[in-house]
Amino acid sequence: MASLFTHAFVAASAGLVATREKQEWRYWATAIILSVLPDADVLGFAMGIRYEDLLGHRGFSHSIVFALLISAAALPLFDPRTWKLWLFFAIVTASHGVLDAMTDGGLGIAFFSPFSNHRYFFPWTPIRVSPIGIREFFTSDGLGVLASEFLYVWIPVALFVAVFRLLRRRRTSPGVP
């Protein structure tokens, strides 16, 4: 998996692009929670659920269907008629699987679960896979993961957000053709 830090960073960055209006704390909290929620499936290891099972790590909770369903479940915290917010939350949740499919380890992502448990990686996997567990993360391997995420996710995403917001501001500024 990519680290929880990176999943949260991508969610917050997407939030900056998705809306012009100032948002309240629950918007940001929901986006960040939904971006890291798919990794709650690691709790299944303690219950005897195998990695490769439907409910195993990177299985159903990393799927497109899960992203659509969990985003709908989050809408009662807001105006449930707001399909744009539902779409934003679905994209933020689905971004988890996309980032994990760019890592160099594991069994892949079951994007199409529950219809298929086939696991996928992208052809390009530059992100070092994050170790599972807090203790293992704070090692030299964990620092290597953060370095690869910084290079391949944080810098490109930050640049994209900066350029996007600059162009948006320029387009909406009075007197700018």
The per-residue pLDDT for range 93-102, each reduced to its tens digit, is 999 999 999 9
**Residue 174, pLDDT score:** 66
pLDDT exceeds 90 at position 137: no
Q: What domain range is 10 assigned to?
A: 4-172
pLDDT band at 177 (very low <50, low <70, confident <90, very high): low
pLDDT digits (tens, 9 = 90+) for 10-59: 999 999 999 888 899 999 999 999 999 999 999 999 999 999 999 999 99
Give domain status of residue 177, yes or no.
no
Which stretch of DSSP H or E encloses residue 22?
none
Give domain status of residue 71, yes or no.
yes
Distances (CA, A) of 139 to 32, 95, 109, 114, 144: 25, 26, 25, 35, 9
**Residue 176, pLDDT score:** 53
- Environment class of 58 (CB within 10 Å of its CB; exposed 0-12, middle 13-18, buried 19+): buried
| Other C-beta atoms lying within 10 Å of the C-beta of residue 8 | 17
Q: Per the structure, how many domains does the chain have?
A: 1
Three-state secondary structure along 73-92?
Answer: HHHHHCCCCCHHHHHHHHHH
Residue 127 backbone dihedrals phi, psi, to 5 degrees:
-85, 125
Distances (CA, A) of 79 to 82, 114, 139, 157: 6, 28, 43, 28
pLDDT exceeds 80 at position 114: yes
- Environment class of 75 (CB within 10 Å of its CB; exposed 0-12, middle 13-18, buried 19+): middle
Give domain status of residue 81, yes or no.
yes
Give domain status of residue 24, yes or no.
yes
Give domain status of residue 156, yes or no.
yes
pTM assigned to the model: 0.90
Q: Which of 43-47, 128-132, 141-145, 172-176 has the highest mean pLDDT?
A: 43-47
Can you read off the two tokens belonging to residue 112? Answer: 């199409």
pLDDT digits (tens, 9 = 90+) for 55-90: 999 999 999 999 999 999 999 888 877 889 999 999
Give domain status of residue 124, yes or no.
yes
